[in-house]
């Protein structure tokens, strides 16, 4: 089940990359490249830091095939129907939740450190989206007034807590994904955000 969930996350993130690239008027090659990098970037960074060799998509090329196919499919679909305005945000939320938990699962096989497991989960969840936004000339979601990394953090913490309790792996996985996804979707629906830094000098002296 974890493998299927991982491939689903790859496909979803590839779609978000393809949609963002399409909004920037990139050609089909650029769309596939951005989609693929978005889908594989977080997991690649995670494996390199953990010292996992070879990187997951090198040992199993199906990840590359799925991500490229999702990117191409999005390009073709966009020629016949315009994606809904919130498709990108909702797809990204699903990808974030899935990749966060996948990252935690992979890290837990290598490290026992709770901190490392949570950090690797966050890194897996947010890095692909960061690369996507940078390539497309956008401010990454993680740097905006968005509850984004916080949603990933919540999912990671839920993962380590439920794992410590001793629940079955699939239950830990699903509940953690639901937790991260719920936090992200709730923040989108009610436009919630974290407090921002306010320069008191500028506030009093416009």
Each residue's pLDDT expressed in tens, for the chain with a length of 206 residues: 789 999 999 999 999 999 999 999 999 999 999 999 999 999 999 999 999 999 999 999 999 999 999 999 999 999 888 877 788 999 999 999 999 999 999 999 998 999 999 999 999 999 999 999 999 999 998 888 889 999 999 999 999 999 999 999 999 999 999 999 999 999 999 989 888 776 666 555 55
What is the per-residue pLDDT for 199? 61
What is the per-residue pLDDT for 86? 86
- The answer to whether residue 143 sits within a structural domain is yes
Tell me the residue range of the domain where 51 lies. Answer: 2-193
What is the per-residue pLDDT for 79? 86
What is the per-residue pLDDT for 135? 97
- The answer to whether residue 67 sits within a structural domain is yes
- The answer to whether residue 203 sits within a structural domain is no
Domain count, the chain: 1
Measure the CA–CA gap between 34 and 94, rounded to whole angstroms: 18
Measured CA to CA in angstroms, residue 136 lies from 19, 26, 41, 68, 91 at distances of 11, 9, 15, 18, 17
Q: Do the beta carbons of residue 147 and residue 187 sit within 8 Å?
A: yes
- The answer to whether residue 107 sits within a structural domain is yes
Q: Do the beta carbons of residue 184 and residue 88 sit within 8 Å?
A: no
- The answer to whether residue 94 sits within a structural domain is yes
Measure the CA–CA gap between 142 and 132, rounded to whole angstroms: 12
What is the per-residue pLDDT for 159? 98
Q: Do the beta carbons of residue 38 and residue 21 sit within 8 Å?
A: no
What is the per-residue pLDDT for 81? 87
- The answer to whether residue 202 sits within a structural domain is no
- The answer to whether residue 108 sits within a structural domain is yes
What is the per-residue pLDDT for 1? 79
Model's pTM, two decimal places?
Answer: 0.93
Measure the CA–CA gap between 126 and 148, rounded to whole angstroms: 8
What is the per-residue pLDDT for 93? 97
- The answer to whether residue 205 sits within a structural domain is no
Residue 52 tokens read as 């996992």
The number of CA neighbours under 13 Å toward the Cβ of 148 is 19
């Amino acid at each position: 089940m974890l493998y299927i969930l991982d491939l689903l996350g790859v496909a979803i993130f590839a779609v978000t990359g393809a949609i963002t690239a399409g909004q920037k008027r990139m050609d089909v090659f650029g769309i596939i490249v951005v989609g693929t990098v978005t889908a594989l970037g977080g997991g690649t960074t995670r494996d390199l830091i953990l010292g996992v060799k070879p990187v997951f998509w090198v040992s199993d090329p199906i990840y590359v095939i799925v991500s490229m196919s999702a990117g191409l499919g999005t390009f073709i679909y966009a020629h016949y129907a315009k994606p809904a305005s919130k498709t990108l945000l909702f797809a990204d939320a699903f990808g974030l939740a899935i990749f966060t938990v996948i990252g935690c699962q992979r890290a837990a096989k290598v490290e026992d450190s709770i901190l490392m497991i949570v950090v690797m989960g966050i890194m897996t969840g947010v890095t692909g989206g960061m690369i996507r936004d940078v390539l497309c000339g956008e401010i990454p979601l993680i740097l905006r007034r968005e509850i984004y990394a916080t949603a990933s953090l919540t999912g990671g913490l839920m993962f380590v807590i439920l794992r410590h309790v001793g629940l079955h792996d699939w239950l830990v996985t699903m509940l953690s994904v639901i937790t991260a996804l719920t936090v992200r979707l709730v923040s989108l629906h009610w436009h919630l955000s974290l407090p921002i830094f306010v320069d008191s000098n500028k506030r009093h002296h416009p």
